């Protein structure tokens, strides 16, 4: 078990050293994702979507940038699509 944890921490350290800005931005996007999910879950059935959507979209855009810098097509495609879908939803909500 100790070897597994040591390996994980070494991988995290290496990831940080490789691209510290990306590492910090991915941690920020992760915190945004968790924060939005907790807020959504705790405010159902009437979540504050007008507040959550822009934050969520920002997190998705950060993840898309991180995927681009990692050269990860699958993640990039996923987060560009999520950013687009949720941006359209926000625009539709604001137009109502």
- The CA distance from 23 to 15, in Å, is 7
In the prediction, which pLDDT does 96 show? 87
* Alpha helix segments (H runs only) across 1-96: 2-18, 20-43, 49-70, 73-95
The pLDDT score that the predictor gives to residue 79 is: 98
Q: What is the pLDDT of residues 26-80, one digit of tens each?
A: 999 999 999 999 999 999 999 999 999 999 999 999 999 999 999 999 999 999 9
Q: Is 62 exposed, middle or buried (0-12, 13-18, 19+ CB in 10 A)?
A: buried
Q: What is the per-residue pLDDT for 29?
A: 98
Q: How confident is the model at residue 1 (pLDDT cuts 50, 70, 90)?
A: confident
pLDDT at res. 23: 97
């Amino acid at each position: 078990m100790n070897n597994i944890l040591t390996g994980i921490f070494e991988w995290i350290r290496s990831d940080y050293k490789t691209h510290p800005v990306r590492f910090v931005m991915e941690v920020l996007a992760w915190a945004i994702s968790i924060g939005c999910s907790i807020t959504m879950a705790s405010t159902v059935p009437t979540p504050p979507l007008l507040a959550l959507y822009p934050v969520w979209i920002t997190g998705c855009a950060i993840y898309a940038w991180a995927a681009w810098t990692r050269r990860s097509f699958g993640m990039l495609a996923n987060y560009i699509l999520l950013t687009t879908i949720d941006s359209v939803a926000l625009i539709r909500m604001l137009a109502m």
